[in-house]
């Protein structure tokens, strides 16, 4: 991914995730409503900063300069000090742009995710490769773009002989991840105890893939 890909990556991920169940759960709060122009512009600026940081750190890949995008979580990647600072600032700003109810839901997601990861993997998580984020622009889906990008993660995990994992915010993607050998490890449910969420609890999957040896490939 190059710095010049950033606007297209922003556009791709935004449009691909518009109906994402986790995204909807966090954003569709009674105090949410339509964000103001200033809030939208601020959100875009923060995400541009975040994607630029990824491009600089070389931890993300694109196809056709952003029609498809993948971010890798590599525990062996040593981030520069500047990148760590930018990441922290981005995290604080993104949460700062959320309303009170959105912050509560985001906090619920992180709390449940951390507890599940700890229980499932413990210290092993520090060695596992993560497929952190993936999206293809809606009008470019079904052309094999995301599959080509997923192999960056699975090839690295296979070369190291470690498991890889993904948090799938959409259970509709089980088949997609399953085709690369990811298996469902745990589903966490959000919103069950939230009186402001009137729909059924939102399911978020944690999927894990065992490494393949060269002989199996």
Ligand X SMILES: CC(C)(COP(=O)(O)OP(=O)(O)OC[C@H]1O[C@@H](n2cnc3c(N)ncnc32)[C@H](O)[C@@H]1OP(=O)(O)O)[C@@H](O)C(=O)NCCC(=O)NCCS
Angle, vertex CA 77, rays to CA 176 and CA 184, nearest 5: 25
**How far, in Å, CA of 163 to CA of 211, rounded?**
6
List of residues 6+ apart from 22 with CB closer than 8 A: 109, 169, 170, 190, 202, 204
Query: Which listed residue (168, 197, 202, 206) binds ligand X by CB under 6 A?
Result: 168
Q: Give whichever of 142 and 195 is closer to ligand X, judged by the CB atom.
A: 142
Q: Give whichever of 52 and 173 is closer to ligand X, judged by the CB atom.
A: 173
**How far, in Å, CA of 14 to CA of 51, rounded?**
13
> Which of 162, 134, 163, 132 lies closest to 148, judged by CA?
134
Contacts of ligand X in 72-101 (CB under 6 A): none
Q: How far is the CB of 206 from ligand X (least distance, A)?
A: 11
**How far, in Å, CA of 130 to CA of 36, rounded?**
34
Tell me if 17 contacts ligand X by CB under 6 A: yes
Q: How far is the CB of 94 from ligand X (least distance, A)?
A: 17
List of residues 6+ apart from 57 with CB closer than 8 A: 77, 79, 80, 83
Q: Under DSSP, is residue 132 helix (H, G, I), strand (E, B) or coil?
A: strand
Query: Which listed residue (75, 96, 107, 144) binds ligand X by CB under 6 A?
Result: 144
Tell me if 134 contacts ligand X by CB under 6 A: yes
Tell me if 175 contacts ligand X by CB under 6 A: yes
Tell me if 180 contacts ligand X by CB under 6 A: no
Tell me if 143 contacts ligand X by CB under 6 A: yes
Q: Give whichever of 86 and 131 is closer to ligand X, judged by the CB atom.
A: 131
Cβ burial of 164 (10 Å; 0-12, 13-18, 19+) is: buried
Residue span binding ligand X (CB under 6 A) among the ranges 32-40, 80-88, 151-159, 164-172:
164-172
Tell me if 147 contacts ligand X by CB under 6 A: yes
Query: Which listed residue (74, 173, 203, 211) binds ligand X by CB under 6 A?
Result: 173
List of residues 6+ apart from 159 with CB closer than 8 A: none
Query: Which listed residue (136, 153, 164, 197) binds ligand X by CB under 6 A?
Result: 136
Query: Which listed residue (2, 170, 171, 187) binds ligand X by CB under 6 A?
Result: 170
Contact set with ligand X (CB under 6 A): 16-17, 20, 68, 134-136, 141-147, 168-170, 172-173, 175-176, 179
């Amino acid at each position: 991914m190059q710095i010049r890909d950033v606007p297209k990556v922003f556009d791709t991920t935004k449009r691909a995730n518009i109906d994402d169940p986790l995204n909807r759960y966090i954003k569709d709060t009674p105090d949410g409503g339509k964000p103001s122009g200033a809030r939208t512009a601020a959100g875009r600026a923060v995400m541009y900063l975040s994607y630029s940081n990824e491009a600089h750190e070389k931890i993300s890949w694109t196809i056709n300069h952003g029609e498809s995008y993948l971010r890798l979580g590599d525990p062996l990647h040593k981030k520069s000090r500047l990148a760590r600072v930018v990441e922290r600032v981005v995290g604080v700003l993104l949460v700062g742009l959320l309303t009170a109810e959105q912050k509560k839901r985001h906090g619920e997601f992180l709390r449940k995710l951390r507890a599940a990861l700890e229980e499932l993997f413990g210290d092993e998580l520090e060695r596992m490769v993560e497929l952190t984020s993936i999206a293809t622009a809606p009008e470019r889906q079904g052309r094999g773009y995301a599959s080509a990008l997923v192999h960056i993660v699975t090839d690295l995990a296979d070369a190291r002989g470690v498991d890889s994992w993904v948090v799938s915010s959409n259970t509709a993607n089980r088949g997609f991840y399953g085709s690369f050998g990811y298996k469902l490890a745990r589903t966490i449910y959000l919103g069950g105890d939230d009186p402001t969420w009137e729909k059924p609890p939102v399911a978020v999957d944690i999927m894990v893939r065992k490494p393949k040896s060269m002989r199996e490939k």
